[in-house]
Amino acid sequence: MECVVCHGKGCDLCDHGSVIESGCPQKEVGPVVSTLTMIDMAEKGHLPVTGGVLDQSQWFVEAYKFYTADIATIKAEA
């Protein structure tokens, strides 16, 4: 499949723009699915830890920013 880091151009993390999955894909995407579930809940007003935005884990804040930017790009291209 196409490398998501370089978008098929080739980088240090892939083989000429492609990545070959040699293990169970579920093992690789499990953490992503979990994060997307938490983002979905946050969009509905249910944050993953006690408190408001200032009380969120840094990884979640970064994941949320990445996700919302990606969704905005997809909607703009459509």
| DSSP per-residue letters across the chain | -B-TTTTTS--TTSBTTB----S-HHHHHHHHHHHHHHHHHHHTT--SSSSSGGGS-HHHHHHHHHHHHHHHHHHHH-
> How high is the pLDDT of residue 67?
92
Query: For 44-65, what is each residue's pLDDT tens digit?
Result: 888 777 776 667 788 888 888 8
Residue located via tokens 């040699």 = 22
Number of domains in the chain: 1
Please check whether residue 68 lies inside any domain of the structure.
Answer: yes
Please check whether residue 61 lies inside any domain of the structure.
Answer: yes
Please check whether residue 67 lies inside any domain of the structure.
Answer: yes
> How high is the pLDDT of residue 53?
64
> How high is the pLDDT of residue 34?
83
Task: Inform me whether the pLDDT recorded for 70 exceeds 90.
Answer: yes
Please check whether residue 72 lies inside any domain of the structure.
Answer: yes
Please check whether residue 5 lies inside any domain of the structure.
Answer: no
Q: Which domain holds residue 52?
A: 25-77
- Can you tell me the distance from the alpha carbon of 42 to that of 6, in angstroms, rounded to the nearest whole number? 29
pLDDT band at 4 (very low <50, low <70, confident <90, very high): confident
- Can you tell me the distance from the alpha carbon of 38 to that of 44, in angstroms, rounded to the nearest whole number? 10
Please check whether residue 11 lies inside any domain of the structure.
Answer: no
**Length of the chain (residues):** 78
Query: For 14-43, what is each residue's pLDDT tens digit?
Result: 889 998 877 787 777 777 888 888 888 888
